[in-house]
Copies of this chain bind each other. A is one copy, B any other.
Amino acid sequence: MSELLTKAQQLKKAAKTLAVLSTNEKNEALAKIADALIEQKEWILEENEKDVALGKEQGLSPALIDRLQLTNERLMQIVDGVRQVINLPDPIGETVEEWTRPNGLRIKNIRVPLGVIGMVYEARPNVTVDAATLCLKAGNAVLLRGSSSALRSNKALVHVMQQALAHSAIPADAVQLLEDTSRETANQMFQLNEYLDVLIPRGGAGLIQSVIRNATVPVLETGVGNCHIFIDESAQKQMAIDIVLNAKTQRPSVCNAVETVLIHENWPYVQELLAALHSKGVELRGDNTLFSSYSFVHQANEADWSTEYLAPILAVKLVKNVKEAIQHIDQYGTKHSEAIVSENQENVHLFFQSIDAAVLYHNASTRFTDGEQFGYGAEIGISTQKLHARGPMGLRAITTTKSLVYGTGQIRV
């Protein structure tokens, strides 16, 4: 039998045991994972070094090498992450709703694990541990499909986790790495409806689209973010500048960073805003008016309005009013995070009501679209789809419910 099918069957079996464990049993197992990661640190870093060496040999870009690289510090952050997951409240068993029907039937919806989760992700080895421990905490088994460039690192991390689980109530089989990283096997995995309850892709737009195109297993789509900030005529000068600088420069490589700023044409501080961005090293790509008005603004082309730069580059455009801003976001947005900076409540209301996105902000940075910032603790990703979970996804997003109905012999008439 193929590696994929063998592991899928082991996972389905392990998921049954895992689903009914107590919070304590799960937390003790996670603590063993944290300890084992520390104990096996040297070996994990050695295996990671082999991936890094091979990546350099194969000419991976410095940015990709950086994502792939583990260090002592990064490994300790991973361990801290596991300990944070231990401290999160366990969603399993929660009563979501309970009511009694006129015929006396008592209905109770309780929260249960999804079952087996397929994680599909790119080179960051930290996802291997972050995702696995979140899945386990919510009672789910997990099939990890990372990229071939991180195979040695992922094998080491999964081996350490499985060894730790072997001494815990969670079956060691509940975490599996798909070592065959071929595209054919990935496509088989995406259609393994009998064994996998959901796929969660994490990575660039190409990876996510490939999963959506090929999957028959339900997908929790995560985060391409072409995020906008609209600065209204009435926006406070310093607040607007602070928010845009934060949303663009605090961490440009993430999906909740801003990519296009739309500015009301009558806002008096356009120059101050653009100069502040320029002085922080942000490359500006402007519409024709801005391009011809400011020497340091490059000319934007059509593609700029749809680009998720993930870099210190920002598209900027003047608009006539909030309606034109809404139309622009409707056309180019990815339904992730959109902000309005304004002192005009009517415009805020219109913006909030009209725009179809996971998170809308009034007078705040788009950078808050994040599980921890929302108060959910660690996140499994940020959903940009509308079904099941929207926006930052915490532990509850990787659970489902079942209805328990208590009767005394009721039949339907």
Residues of A whose CB lies within 8 Å of any CB of B are 16, 19-20, 99, 101, 105, 107, 112, 114-115, 193, 197-198, 212-213, 216, 218-220, 236, 239, 242-243, 245-247, 250, 352-354, 356-365, 367-368, 373-375, 385-388, 390-391, 400-413
Contact = CB atoms under 8 A, between A and B. Distances in A.
A411 B250 contact: yes
Contacts of A368: 105, 405, 410, 412
A218 B385 CA distance: 9
A356 B216 CA distance: 20
Given A219-B218, A400-B386, A401-B390, A412 B361 contact: no
A242 B411 contact: yes
B357 A402 contact: yes
26 contacts: A16-B354, A20-B354, A101-B374, A105-B364, A107-B375, A218-B219, A218-B385, A239-B409, A243-B411, A246-B412, A247-B411, A250-B412, A357-B402, A360-B402, A360-B404, A360-B405, A361-B405, A363-B409, A364-B406, A365-B407, A365-B411, A367-B412, A373-B412, A390-B400, A390-B403, A391-B403
A14 to B, nearest CB: 14
Most buried by B among A112, A212, A358, A364: A364
Given A219-B218, A405-B361, A400 B412 contact: no
Nearest to A407: B364
A30 to B, nearest CB: 22
A105 B364 CA distance: 8
A362 B406 CA distance: 5
A19 B386 CA distance: 15
Most buried by B among A20, A115, A365, A368: A368
A257 to B, nearest CB: 10
Contact of A409 (B198, B243, B387, B411): B243
A235 B385 CA distance: 46
B387 A387 contact: yes
B243 A115 contact: no
B20 A353 contact: yes
Nearest to A256: B412
Contact of A107 (B198, B363, B374): B374
